[in-house]
Amino acid sequence: MLVSGRYQRPTMNIMDTYLIVGLGNPGKSYAKHRHNIGFQIVDLLARRHGLSFDRKQQQAEIASGMIGPHKVLLAKPQTFMNKSGVSVRGLVNFYKIPLSNLLVVADHLDLEFAKLRFRPNGSSGGQNGIKSIIAELGTQEFPRLMVGIGRPPGRMDPAAYVLQDYSAEQEVEMAIVRQEAVDGVELWMKEGMLGAMNNVNGKGERGKEKGETPRGGQKAESGKQDTESKKRDTESIS
């Protein structure tokens, strides 16, 4: 039976199970694409906590274990982006996950490059994976973490843009963003949506802070040294 879609702050019972879903497309050819930032972030979260995607269930690759005191399921739907909701609905129903304990991680074209935004609910904003989840769950009332990839340059087709790798320069920035996103997911489990929103939203506006262009993530000299110093402490996707 589908659990209620009404948003509530996640409870802090240490035996609650959290379902963290990264969105993307399956297969090596898609692995480094902008559209696969959700997969990339849950992969990094799994590595940080020694978890492995060692089984498949409800058309998703699954890693399970503990993050701090919390039981977690990490999921990467293998349905392709536009049908992600089929997998998410199956997992929510099978494990009886309250929607307040579901977090979906996905890319967003209309969010500035490298900016992170937690949202407790809302429309898909044109993101087809989120749109599918809303349709399958029958509600917009579930938490999500959106990662800004910016708009494509010129008249480039957005569908083609999201299915490209980051430029080498953008990848330097996104390696940092992935770490910050994982930090944010951990904070969400610890302090709930309000704590995550207060501490994470807006922190990715590096373009305004360092003179960088927001759509391409290209660094001005004033921000280059700081970004390079952070790079040593980050992990790029393999």
Name residue 30's amino acid: Y
Domain 17-231: CATH superfamily, name plus number? Peptidyl-tRNA hydrolase (3.40.50.1470)
> What interhelical angle do 128-137 and 84-95 show, nearest 10?
40
Mean pLDDT throughout 105-124? 96
Q: Per residue in 190-225, pLDDT tens?
A: 999 999 999 999 664 443 433 333 334 333 333 444
Question: 3-state class of 117 per DSSP?
Answer: strand
pTM above threshold 0.85: no
Domain boundaries, given as residue ranges, for the chain: 17-231
Which are the contacts of 81, defined by CB distance < 8 A and separation ≥ 6? 23, 24, 25, 35, 128, 129, 132
- Residues with active-site annotation: 35
Query: How far is residue 53's CA from residue 237's CA, in Å, rounded to a whole number?
Result: 15
Query: How far is residue 21's CA from residue 144's CA, in Å, rounded to a whole number?
Result: 9
pLDDT score, position 172 = 96
Query: How far is residue 167's CA from residue 152's CA, in Å, rounded to a whole number?
Result: 12
Q: Per residue in 134-183, pLDDT tens?
A: 999 999 999 999 999 999 998 999 999 999 999 999 999 999 999 999 99
Residue in 41, 46, 73, 47 with CA at minimum distance from that of residue 60: 73
**Sheet containing 60-67: which strands, arranged edge to edge?**
55-57, 60-67, 70-77, 17-22, 102-108, 144-148, 116-119
Reported as half-sphere exposure (CB side, CA atoms, 13 A), residue 42 has a value of: 30
The residue ranking higher by pLDDT, 181 or 229, is: 181
